[in-house]
Amino acid sequence: MKLYIQNKYILATTAISLIVAVLVHFPESISLFHESETECLFPGMRFIDVLSEIVFTFISLLLLFALNTILFPFNKPTAHIKIKTLILSFMLSWVVSSLFGKGFFYLHQALGLPAVNATVHHYLHPFRDIIMGGLVTLSCYIIHLITRQQLVNAENLQLQSENIRNQYEALKNQLNPHMLFNSLNTLGSLVRENQDRAQDYIQELSKVLRYTLQSNEGQLVTLHDEMQFVYAYIFLLKMRFEDNLIFDIQIDSKYNSYHLPPMAIQMLTENAVKHNEISSRKPLTIIIKTLSDGCICVSNKLQPKINSNPGMGVGLANLDKRYQLLLQKNIIIKRNTDFSVIVPLNEERV
């Protein structure tokens, strides 16, 4: 993507330089085909003189674009261009363009370089320097805005794709035969043993499925909404693992209105259950807590299942990608005796 943006920027500036170089010397070009105007306004002017002026102006514009690209972040779509930057760019382009003109005139005098040597032409040069300075700055800024918008559109499309993939994966995990078999098996036992608890189980299961289906309606959800879903999901897990699965939840209420990608905490909880042994011999404790720096941490002691599949890390990679696209942040993974994943919370909705 970065190489594409650079190539497009170079192509655009080259095309603009060529067009402006021709238009700036349009009066001289037109006069070539009218002998009376040539003798009156530009006496002694030849075709090679006009061509030399156009080529020199084209090279000067390329150098001005290159100078602006080096000194100012016009070719960086993520940069924020301020009014001060535009003024500095214009002043620099104007001054350098004037110096280039003086240098060309010196080459014409010292080396006999072909050039239009007419009084009208020399009077036009200061105005052309102003026009060229303004066009270079304006062109750089417009290209920057267009490239920035294209980048935003590309990231939005990528984000939509990631969200659809996340919804599909989450729904597939909730409805896969193994999960469905365990849920129905647990429900069957509850119906026989305790119908009131069975009704509670059905209600929580419906919450989980409803949230899963609706999670792609927004790119971010509040921590409060996410935790309500997590509590329903925990209820299902506790019905299955009973006292062998323990949750230690420490959520500071001041972060309830903060935002994060939907199903982030649920996915981390699911990962812990999926990859660790949970038994009466080795109960598993999952800690979900907010941190003082505005992040939330999901951690558990490492107790891998015997002969378990370590997995491909697709869920964590997907979550990290969504964070990069939405908040320009990364999740943090720590692995020692415990496995911890720290995800940032965002105070404002993006």
* Alpha-helix residue ranges (DSSP H) falling in 176-285: 177-193, 195-214, 223-241, 264-275
Express each pLDDT in 151-185 by its tens digit: 888 888 888 777 767 765 665 555 455 556 767 77
176-344 architecture in CATH? 2-Layer Sandwich (3.30)
Banded pLDDT at 305 (limits 50, 70, 90): confident
Express each pLDDT in 333-348 by its tens digit: 999 999 999 999 998 7
Burial of 19 (0-12, 13-18, 19+ CB in 10 A): middle
Q: Which amino acid is at 328?
A: Q
Q: Which of 184, 164, 165, 187 is nearest to 175 (CA)?
A: 184
Let me know: does 265 contact 296? Beta carbons within 8 Å.
yes
- For the ranges 83-87, 315-319, 331-335, the lowest mean pLDDT is seen at 315-319
Q: Which of 242, 246, 301 is nearest to 275 (CA)?
A: 301
- What residue segments make up the domains of the chain, in order of their start? 2-155, 176-344
Largest CA distance in the chain: 109
| pTM assigned to the model | 0.54
φ, ψ dihedrals at 276, nearest 5°: -120, 150
Let me know: does 262 contact 220? Beta carbons within 8 Å.
yes
Q: What angle (nearest 5°) sits at the alpha carbon of residue 17, between those of residues 11 and 21?
A: 150
For residue 217, is pLDDT > 80? no
